[in-house]
Chain A
Amino acid sequence: MNATIGEIGRSRSILLAPSALVFIGLFVLPMLYFFLVSFWQVSLFDLDRTFTVKNYIRTYQEYLGVAGFTFLIAGIIALLTTLIALGFAYAVRFKVGRFGTILLFGALISLFGGYLAKVYAWKTILGTNGILNTALLNLGVIDEPITAFIFNPGAVVVTLTHYLLPLAILPIYGSLRGVSDLTIEAARDLGSTPIATFFNIILPQCGSGLIASFSFTFLIAAGDYVTPRLVGGPSTTMIGNYIESLFGFRFDWPLGSAMSFSTLFCCVGILAVTSYLLIKAQRR
């Protein structure tokens, strides 16, 4: 390795090569191939590689309602998660003083708390014989178990909000940390009320964190199938459940692919419009 100065550029691409190989070979290529599959069809349990768009037509005809329901649920989860995360991050950054470190630390711990463990925990909490019901029974608040806690969209919203909350807190707290106390004191000094300060000074400075949190939680929620399966019940079947089943016992990769990419493109479209509106609202 007797490198001369000119070799720095070459060594840079050597350093990048393995990562780029993983990214391209194990993400870009599979996604492209998976996308291609959506234009094929299945005959006799084998892929037939003749071009067709009928998978997209089928998706549109048969799964539009499911997709709409999925986006609604994902939207509610993303909005709820982002708002709670904003409130929590705001409180930690500006309102609770030394306490903040402990609170933030708790959020970080729950970030790594395990995806399945969390979903399972909510199943045991919300179940008919679950923790919530038995606790309420023992306290004498209710006489018989409430079955409405689980196997409905609400349970999915609660569970996914819980799972995604720490992931949303981090970017928002990150951008709030960049807001200097000085600008806030200056605003107050110039006669701005706390509420006006929040909207005029703090919110504009964490816009990127909010958009990041909302987008991320929306995408993950819209693509999830484990949570609806475990706590959603039959009334809460989301698009992910159908996609997953197409790669399992129903074996229809092309339709599954068309549904996957339709979902992804719709999500990206929804998020682009939302972010655009948010940014535009902020400019005003």
Chain B
Amino acid sequence: MRAPALNGHAIWAIYRFEMARTLRTLGQSILAPVISTSLYFVVFGAAIGSRISAVDGVSYGAFIVPGLLMLSLLTQSIANGSFGIFMPKFSGTIYEVLSAPISFVEILIGYVGASATKSIVLGLIILITARLFVPFHIAHPLMTALFLTLTSVTFSLFGFTLGIWADGFEKLQIVPALIVTPLTFLGGSFYSIAMLPAPWRQITLFNPVVYLISGLRWSFYGVADVAVGVSLAMTLVFLAGCLAAVGWMFRTGYRLKA
């Protein structure tokens, strides 16, 4: 009997398992980010935003939509991607995935695919929620979809490497809390980097999240801190970096196989 070249049943099993986990924890997976995003809109959009003049010709409430969307995408993609692989490692059920006739690529498609799906769905829900608070118009919807998808996949992959690396819950939390969230806040979620004083405007360009937010904002309003091509290129560089990291982990069995 020849084994098939691709174990589609296995990919589907993992994907479904992960999606079922989302549905089980619906509050945590979907409701919590929606509520926190709404709070941002109430505070920054409605209460404070009304006193801030338009940025790059876009009203402040509308201006922060792409930034907030990116904030949720990054945190949720990393959380989903890392939890999906961390939990089986933590509970010991990883033995089954490792002993199954499944390649690492298939494992990756199952886990990261499910994580990215959740992030994309969440992103759409946040867009709809935001629309309830501020009227905005998306100038380049296809580019929005592209950035949404690329970001979800890339940071689910990043989360996946984090989940393999982490050997405890603390490590799982520390990277999002100490690195990703600050970089997102400082990456222009709530301001245009043109608003920064001179040295910071250059320093902030070392923050990778600037490129993500700028690209997404360009797809909304056609205005950006950096050229959209640069944003897209940087996103692809992150994607390649994460793929390389996962590839190395799988080749060496890093923290998966003794």
A, B: real partners: no
